[in-house]
Each structure stands twice: as structure tokens, then as C-alpha cells.
Amino acid sequence: MEYAKKIKVINELGFHLRAAAVFAKEAERFKSDIKVRNVTTNGPAAEGKSVMGLVTLIALKGSEVEIKASGPDAKEAVAKLAKMVQSKFGEKQ
């Protein structure tokens, strides 16, 4: 199965190193293949389980990203990871 969702990055620092590390750690819990793409810049997709790949997205505050997963737990993965972005990666600002 394949699922995808577009979501705005709302935390002040965007998809910075710490946010990417939190996202990748959560993504590793899933069996599905996870890709993230910065829709705003129309850039290439990055591996969702790779901190360095996610940092290369250069997804600043206000950017729209697409989270796409394919595999046995794809729906759950997309829902959980989208919620993480919506919750500002657990950051206060």
C-alpha cells in the first residue's frame, strides 16, 4: 500500500538538524519505505529515515512537504509522521 500527505512546516526553524533527527528516528520504527519531498521548491525526495537526507530538503518554516510511504504500515507511518510535523517536532516555538 502507498499513502501520501502534504503538510506545512510550522516550527520556527523548519526541518533543521534536530527536527530531522527526531523525524528519522520515528520513521525507523516503520517497515514501510518513507520519502519526504519539499513541494514548495519542487526538489527531489529524500529518504525519510536519513537525517542527512532530510536536512538537504531545506524545508523552512512555511514550506509544504509531502510525506509518502509504501509498505505494510504505510498509512500509520504517514499519519504519525504528519502529526509530528504538525506538533512542531515537539519544539516549543
Choose the catalytic residue: 8, 16, 18, 88.
16
Closest by CA to 26, choosing from 91, 80, 90, 88, is: 80
Non-local (6+) Cβ contacts of 13 within 8 A are 19, 61, 91, 93
Q: Is 38 a catalytic residue?
A: no
Handedness of CA 33, 69, 39, 28 (dihedral sign): negative
Tell me the catalytic residues: 16
